[in-house]
Structure 1
């Protein structure tokens, strides 16, 4: 079983998906102890109790190297340990098809494999708390079962499983869906699509949303929350190094990302979104203003539910 990693440091928010923050890219091969500490200071100043530092799809050895670097730098800094509760591994076992693959490099996407997954877990030194994969890429749900047996939260995302495949994954230990409404094409079949399938299983899954108004329009987010109910929904930023910094050019691993005047984070060719520039305080303001949530409801989505999902 994965040992508890949560600290008792105070904060208003728990963010389960943070790729970087305030100019620091957690997917950088040049990440330093100083830059990691600075990112954690900014996160704490914005009211963060804890995050999962997120590593996205790349070659397995490069992902392992980045996880190892994060683990080593975190271990050397007690303050970083108090902010970074663990890691979220997003990929590489996702769907490589356009739209579903999102900003992940399709060339590095691969079917789920127990040995490759173990390589990543070993590199992370026991700090992996969530793995996002595509159930249809996991033959016989072998990796899902392996992770669930170790107490690691298995999330579906960047995927398009049939309802039968989704149910099989849930039976094998899948407990979450990553940023519903994203990691899928702009155009989908009207009725039988991944969003509708996941919503039909909302009573069995934690479902996360990026509540920035860019990734999911407000009317859609309001409708989704009515279906999921607030007991099972989680708000994440999916923040990249641009978080809190405004328009400009930034990095996410090997990729260049452009943040526009509305705060949307685009790939260099403007073909798809690439993470988010939002902060948790901004998302809280959005939820109050656009969805009309109360203090208690905001706290459930941004603190209590993500904390419960990690137990």
Structure 2
């Protein structure tokens, strides 16, 4: 098994989304990821203003190019936002002031900053008029994922027709309370034959009994496990950052906003995902190989 994590915002004290990323801190994060059994990752950048995203992405790209370990560990880049839903609940921990509708011009700027490393973009289909940005990204060989969004089922299907092929951290990036039937979780699950469905299996973002229900519904053929790890992953309780956010990690190792109203990424690691899968979800090693290795690679044609 060679785990491939499609969503890593930072690790072991290093924040990919910060302005203080250095060659040393990037190497340190990659070494820690390798030590924890991760074969490769997509370095993930969350919503910010386009120039800020361009600068941060370009910095990581340049540092990666000079480091053999970083080149091996970082297979590409996942851009999560800024083309998401700005409504409270759906926007999650992303800064609402930087959220904007999807558009091809800004998408091109972000792809240029990635210097050919863009592999995955998360956006809100309902904020991509005519699915034009989705179609453009798909035409460039980039996997397009729905996330932090609330499209209707018709909008989701239309986006799939245009090239959407994934859903980012199903069950998260949405309000705590929603319509009991017609909600974004049910819509995503209903399209499990069209979409790769990503989950954060830490028992916090999704209680294990709920995740077991969803996996029974969707099956494992198009299921992917991700960490959504932030700089606090692998470290203990304390205060950390994600793209300027102040994050509090309690004794339970859960990453929360300082006011405790919502999660801010995750501190789960691949070893903990494996333990959770065996002990809480009743999965086999073959199952884990599918959701941590085989499916992620198929999803982005790695």
Residue 83 of structure 1 pairs with residue 76 of structure 2: no
User: Counterpart in 1 of 2:266?
Assistant: 276
- Answer whether contact 1:144 1:174 (CA < 8 A) is retained: yes
| DSSP 3-state at the match of 2:76 | strand
Residue 21 of structure 1 pairs with residue 8 of structure 2: no
User: Counterpart in 2 of 1:262?
Assistant: 252
- Answer whether contact 1:57 1:108 (CA < 8 A) is retained: yes
| DSSP 3-state at the match of 2:224 | strand
User: Counterpart in 2 of 1:207?
Assistant: 197
User: Counterpart in 2 of 1:292?
Assistant: 282
C-alpha distance in 2, partners of 1:125/1:281?
31
| DSSP 3-state at the match of 1:39 | helix
User: Counterpart in 2 of 1:34?
Assistant: 24
User: Counterpart in 2 of 1:119?
Assistant: 109
| DSSP 3-state at the match of 1:214 | coil
TM-score (norm 2): 0.99
Write out aligned runs for 1:41-190 (5 A): 41-190=31-180
> Which stretches in structure 2 are left out of the alignment for 5+ residues?
none
C-alpha distance in 2, partners of 1:12/1:174?
26
C-alpha distance in 2, partners of 1:147/1:296?
32
What's the offset of the Cα at 1:78? 1.3
User: Counterpart in 2 of 1:309?
Assistant: 299
| DSSP 3-state at the match of 1:15 | strand
User: Counterpart in 2 of 1:6?
Assistant: none
What's the offset of the Cα at 1:307? 1.2
What's the offset of the Cα at 1:154? 0.1
RMSD of aligned alpha carbons: 0.7
User: Counterpart in 2 of 1:229?
Assistant: 219
C-alpha distance in 2, partners of 1:262/1:223?
24
TM-score (norm 1): 0.96
- Answer whether contact 1:240 1:277 (CA < 8 A) is retained: yes
Give deviations 1:199-252, integer Å, cap 9, x for gaps: 110011100000000000011100111111111000000000000102111000
- Answer whether contact 1:94 1:157 (CA < 8 A) is retained: yes
C-alpha distance in 2, partners of 1:66/1:178?
22
Give deviations 1:114-166, integer Å, cap 9, x for gaps: 10110111011011100000000100101000000011000000000000100
| DSSP 3-state at the match of 1:207 | strand
C-alpha distance in 1, partners of 2:3/2:113?
27
- Answer whether contact 1:246 1:277 (CA < 8 A) is retained: no
Which stretches of structure 1, 4 residues or longer, exceed 4 Å deviation after superposition? Answer: none
| DSSP 3-state at the match of 1:250 | strand
What's the offset of the Cα at 1:24? 0.2
- Answer whether contact 1:128 1:152 (CA < 8 A) is retained: yes
> Which stretches in structure 1 are left out of the alignment for 5+ residues?
1-10
| DSSP 3-state at the match of 1:64 | helix
